[in-house]
Amino acid sequence: MLQKLNAFIEVARQRSFTKAAKGLYISQPALSKQMKGLEEELGFTLFDRSSYGVKLTKKGEGLYRELSPMFERIHQTVERYQAFEEIRFGSTPYLTSYFLHEYYERLQHANVHVTAIEDDSQDLIPLLEADEIDAAIIQDLASYKNFPSVYLFTDEFFAAVPIDSPLALKQKVTIEDCLTQPQIIPSKGALSEKIRRVMKEHNFDGQVIETQYHAMAGLVSLGAGVAYLPRMMVQQIAYRGVLFLPIRTTPFKREMYVYARTEGILEAVKGLFAEGRKVLPEAEDYFL
């Protein structure tokens, strides 16, 4: 029946059996026979046939309006899977661990493979330029040169505080609260730059501990200070001795964009993330 319904949508769209038959690469008599068979299966008439051409019945018009967008999505999905033999994808350790895993099966079926990982997503741009990857998720960069891109989502950061810190008694903290403690920050990258800017704005003159991104939570658990970690990570991990608190009017957010070498690749990749995206929960405490 799906084949017949697809043919029905083409007839309804063209309002002509002759034009629809050409578009479907079948003869007009064969198409007319299909539509007769479809009407018999459905149990109602789809077309008012007359010498003036094809006119849909009320039920036929209703069926067309409901089915048309569904079949359009089906065609787009099929075209997306047919378009590329393989898509080489760039990511970061955190995106790979805490975001892309939600789409693992979909990416695998579409033959999208993570072939490059950089600690800072913006370091993936040179790989796009060198044609070493086909697409990537880039942080805080809405556009770059002539590469097509599209907004994906916004992720905000939580304060990671030691469980025995005075801040642990609060339900939420302010950035001023956080700056009463030593700051644990990445040695480089977009987050490091944002934290340094905030520290400068608040005339922070306390201790700053630079480390690798993946080591920050460990230092917090040892009571070394406060760090900032993205919500996508916070909602999925458990770390002994660490409490994650939302920051009031947080200055630490990141906007994520999908980049690709071509518009066609961008359409293919963004379509994989378009459906089934888990909505990040409202800011709340995470006690670990």
Q: What is the CATH number of the domain that holds 10?
A: 1.10.10.10
6 assigned to some structural domain = yes
DSSP, collapsed to helix, strand or coil, labels residue 134 as coil
Considering the domain architecture, whether residues 160 and 247 belong to the same structural domain is answered as: yes
- Assess whether pLDDT exceeds 60 at residue 21: yes
Residue 30 inside a domain? The answer is: yes
Same domain, 133 and 261: yes
Select, from the ranges 12-16, 105-109, 256-260, the one with the highest average predicted confidence (pLDDT): 256-260
pLDDT at res. 117:
93
286 inside domain: no
- Same domain flag for 141 and 180: no
pLDDT 10s digits, 205-233: 999 999 988 899 999 999 999 999 999 88
Q: Do 215 and 149 reside in the same domain of the chain?
A: no
- Summarize pLDDT for 45-87 with one digit per residue, the tens: 998 876 566 889 999 999 999 998 888 887 776 665 555 568 8
For residue 278, pLDDT beyond 70: no
Query: What average pLDDT does range 32-48 have in this prediction?
Result: 91
How buried is 161 (Cβ within 10 angstroms: 0-12 exposed, 13-18 middle, 19+ buried)? Answer: buried
Give yes or no: residues 162 and 128 share one domain.
Answer: no
Quick check: is 287 in a domain? no
Q: Is the pLDDT of residue 92 over 80?
A: yes
DSSP string, 143-200: -BTTB-EEEEEEEEEEEEEETTSGGGG-SSB-HHHHTTS-EEEESSSHHHHHHHHHHH
**233 and 219: one domain?**
yes
Please report which confidence band the pLDDT of residue 169 belongs to, taking 50, 70 and 90 as the band edges: very high
Residue 260 within a domain: yes
Q: Domain for residue 288, yes or no?
A: no
Q: How many domains would you assign to the chain? A: 3
How much is the pLDDT for 282? Answer: 44
- Does 228 lie in the same domain as 170? yes
CATH number, domain with residue 200: 3.40.190.10
- Let me know whether 56 and 187 are in one domain: no
Q: Is the pLDDT of residue 113 over 50?
A: yes
Cα 42 to its chain centre, rounded Å, is 39
- In this prediction, residues 122-140 reach a mean pLDDT of 94
In angstroms and rounded to an integer, the radius of gyration of the C-alpha atoms of the chain is 27
Q: By residue range, what is the domain housing residue 24?
A: 2-83
Write b or e for each residue in 223-254: b if 16 or more Cβ atoms lie within 10 A of its Cβ, otherwise e.
Answer: ebbbbbbbbbbbeeeebeebbbbbbeebebeb
Same domain, 193 and 209: yes
- State how far the alpha carbon of 142 is from the alpha carbons of 145, 148, 153, 205, 251, in Å: 10, 10, 12, 33, 18
Q: What is the mean pLDDT of residues 20-37?
A: 89
Q: Are residues 126 and 185 in the same domain?
A: no
Do 140 and 194 fall into the same domain?
no
Do 142 and 276 have their domain in common? yes
Is residue 264 very low, low, confident or very high in pLDDT (cuts 50, 70, 90)? confident
Angle at 109 between CA 105 and CA 111, to 5 degrees: 115
The pLDDT value recorded for residue 218 is 93
Measured between alpha carbons, how far is residue 260 from residues 125, 265, 274 in Å?
10, 6, 16
